[in-house]
Amino acid sequence: MIIKIFINLIVIVLALIFPFSISQASELPDFLLKNLKVKENKKENGILGTAIAIEGAFKIKPGQKKPISATYRLEFFKDDKPIKASATTSLYKGKTGSVVCLIKRTFTITPGYCFLPHYALDVGVGKSELKVKLSIQAAPKKITDDLKVIKVLNNKEIQFKVNQKAFRSFQLTVHGVRVAKKTKNGDEWDAFWQLKPDPMACVEMKTKQLTDRLFCTPVVKNSYEAAWLSGTGQLWVIKDDPITLSIYDRDTQFDDLIGQISLKINEWHEQAHKIKEMSLVKFIQISFGD
């Protein structure tokens, strides 16, 4: 009994002497920001935008571990107010309607890179001075853990300039598609169930890393042919930005790409008025209207 009491006293004394180290071990590490490296008015896959690279690292103290996943959030400001996202974008629009760029990392949580397309910015035509600021949330041990805010050391707003080009509106309606009986590799579209494809057409803006889906048609189940009446409605993009039309075989987990084509607005107009049907690749044809 005396020995047990003595051991308990030792544990209590140690907890009183080293409270900081015990609690600190369960905390997430801080992130030391070295720089937000901005490259203005770049093009990625033909789309005009601004590239922002996050330079920095987590400061791991004794007893700490890197989080299992991290989300780097870049927010953008003009005249110290959040910039409103354009009506066209969905990928770069936050819950409040302002422009955000999210970089999500799992397991490998090194800081990332964001390409912000200018069509996502509602800042008006001409030169604008903008600011960008970083915040980070992380999951401590499991991907399913609640995200916790990470303290960003040396955090500050970085200024950069945008020379916004004029926007042009467009509407694209895909009237229908005809898909070959087999894939380009000679396989069945759904080899396990021996089913036909489930065609879906999407209008997208594609950079090297991300796809901003502007519009998708309803899915037509188990068919080599599909027809639609719905279109994109009026969308606005920068004149020379390529607009991508992608045809997918809709699946439960991942949509299989059947074919795609990227054209500028004036090229889409030429196709729509001169050629009512075109082949994306050897195994799919589409008819469309503007």
| 29-165: CATH number | 2.60.40.10
Task: Give the residue with greater pLDDT, 180 vs 125.
Answer: 125
The pTM of this model reads 0.81
What is the per-residue pLDDT across 128-160, written as a single tens digit (0 to 9) for each? 999 999 999 998 888 888 889 999 999 989 999
Confidence of residue 289 (pLDDT cuts 50, 70, 90): low
What is the per-residue pLDDT across 82-131, written as a single tens digit (0 to 9) for each? 999 999 999 999 999 999 999 988 876 778 899 999 999 999 899 999 99
d(CA 4, CA 116): 63
Domain boundaries, the chain: 29-165, 168-289
Task: Give the residue with greater pLDDT, 49 vs 14.
Answer: 49
Task: Give the residue with greater pLDDT, 208 vs 101.
Answer: 101
Confidence of residue 288 (pLDDT cuts 50, 70, 90): low
Question: Residue 47 above 80 pLDDT?
Answer: yes
Q: In this structure, which amino acid lies at residue 146?
A: D
End-to-end alpha carbon distance in the chain: 87
- CATH architecture assignment, domain 168-289: Sandwich (2.60)
- Judge whether 46 and 117 are in contact, CB under 8 Å: no
CB atoms within 10 A of CB 16: 8
Q: Show the CA angle centred on residue 287, arms to residues 269 and 232, nearest 5°.
A: 60
